[in-house]
Each structure stands twice: as C-alpha cells, then as structure tokens.
Structure 1
C-alpha cells in the first residue's frame, strides 16, 4: 500500500469518526440534560450546526443576526431558519434595540444558557482529552501533521 492510499484510507476513516463524534456529542448532551433534570426534548430536532449557533450566541450575547451569520459562515436564510428553531425550543430569544428597529439581536434564554454550559463542558472535556493525546508527540510532529492537514483542507475546499 502506498502512503497516498494510507492517507486516503485515513481521511475516509476520519469522516466516519467525525459522524460518530456528532453522535457522541448528542449522547453526552442527552445524559447531562437528564442529570440536570432539564426537559428531555430540549434538544430534539436540534442538529450539530444549531448547537454551534447556540454556542456562538452564548459566547457573544446579545449578538446581531448579521454578526452571527458572518461568524458561522452560513447564509442569512440558514441563520433565520436555525434561530427560529432555537426560539421555538425556548433556547434563544430575539429582540430589537429601542433605538434600532432594523437589526435583530439574539440571546440565550435561561434554558438556552443551561444547554450552552453543558455543550461548553463537552468541548472543554474534548480539549483536555486532545491535549492528553497530543502529549505523546513532539511539537514538531504536531506542527508537521497540522501543516499536512491544513493543505488537505485547502484542497478539499477548492
């Protein structure tokens, strides 16, 4: 087998693992929602992108719809659709400033703040686990791997 074939196999496996890590994330959230006695349907119908929109809102609230769209690198239509779903789930609220009726601002509700904190805990745990994993490698090895993966990413983006 060639190095190129090994890399291709790795990328295929990586994509599969990425899909399953989304499942792992959902399992973590469901478990914590149950432990904290939050409504079990709090995140039903909420996909990973919507969770990351919730995270972006929680990191900078209130946030203007335009800023959210730019930060998430999604369309205005996608922002509207996702935030509408989050509003229906009582995770996010929207408002207009009294002096600016044009811009829409989003912020987390109490329930949204609790989900945000659970999701943030998950990412903190993942970062700690990743750091522990990477401690096996030298700084140069990590840099080289990062350089290769960045090049592949650029290629795949087109």
Structure 2
C-alpha cells in the first residue's frame, strides 16, 4: 500500500472509531451520545435548545438522542413547577458514571496526543496542522454539498 492510501486508510479508521465500550454499560455509545451526557452534567437546566446550541446539532437530532438516552437509563427528564411546556434533562447514576469516564478519557487522550505532538519540530507541526485543517475542510464541504443536493431535490 502506498503512503497516500495508508494516510487515507488511517483517517478512515479514526473516523470509524466513533463508538466506545464503557464498562458495565449494556450498549455502545456514540461520541455524540457521550458528549450529550457530559453536556447535561455541566449545563444548568439542560433542555433541547441548550444542548443543541452546545453540541452544534439540530434540535431534532438532540430530541432523538435524549429519547434514546432516557429509554436506556442514562438520563431522566423533569419539568419545573408552573412550566408544563419545557422539558429538562438530568443524569441518572449510570449517566454520571459515563460522564466521569468521558472526563478521564479526554484527559488521558489529550496528554497522549500532546506527547506525540512534542516529538515533531515546529515545521512538521505546521504541516500536520495544515493537513488537518485541509482534511476537516474537505469533510465539511462534502457534507454541505451532499446536504444541499438532497435539500434541493426535495423542493
């Protein structure tokens, strides 16, 4: 396999590793679900709108995710007295465990990445950063292009 294909394959592997096995949890959770659980812990009176803004996802996606997390026992929902319209979310003990593991994973991952990056000189770091920005741009542009195509075809 040539170096170009190896790089593309490695990027694909990184992208596909989007589920985490959490000990004592019955189902795998996506990164989005884990980040939603973490956000519920630190956002006061977390609701669909606040979670949508924090996570950069649509309210529909957040609603669907929260329903699944509720059904699987990670979150619970509540309403404030006198406001029967707005629904808020809080974590169960299971959700708190996931949030704690999430914090540890981020800390450990950050430190490992920092150690790897320290092995490169400033010029190499600049090249890596440019490469990652370019790859991120390709991904964003591709999703936008596809989304616009499907939105136009639905009109």
Smaller-chain TM-score bracket: 0.7 to 0.9
Quick one: which of 79, 83, 87 aligns to 1:96? 79
Unaligned runs of 5+ in 2: 142-155
Map residues 24-43 of structure 1 onto 2, 5 A cutoff: 25-26=20-21, 29-30=22-23, 33=24, 40-41=25-26
79, 85, 88: which one aligns with 2:68:
85
Query: 1:22 & 1:74 partners in 2: Cα distance?
Result: 16
TM-score of the superposed pair, with normalisation by structure 2: 0.75
Cα 1:80–1:9, aligned 2, differ >3 Å: closer, same or farther? same
Count of residues in Structure 1 that have an aligned counterpart in Structure 2: 141
CA distance in structure 2 between the aligned counterparts of 1:129 and 1:53, rounded to whole angstroms:
24
Distance 1:45 1:148, change over 3 A: closer
2:33 is aligned, of 30, 50, 53, to 50
* Cα contact 1:57–1:68 (8 A) shared by 2: yes
Aligned partner of residue 156 in structure 1, secondary structure: helix
| Aligned CA distance change for structure 1 residues 104 and 156 (closer, same or farther; 3 Å) | same
Which one has more relative contact order, counting CA pairs under 8 Å at least 6 apart? 1
Corresponding residue of 1:144: 127
Contact 1:61 1:107 in 2 (8 A): no
- SS in structure 1 of the partner of residue 116 of structure 2: helix
Mapped partners of 1:122, 1:139: distance in 2: 27
**How many Å separate the matches in 2 of 1:60 and 1:142?**
34
Normalised TM-score (structure 1): 0.74
- Residues 93, 108 of structure 1: 8 Å contact kept: yes
Q: Cα–Cα, structure 1 residues 155 and 14, in superposed 2: closer, same or farther, change >3 Å? A: closer
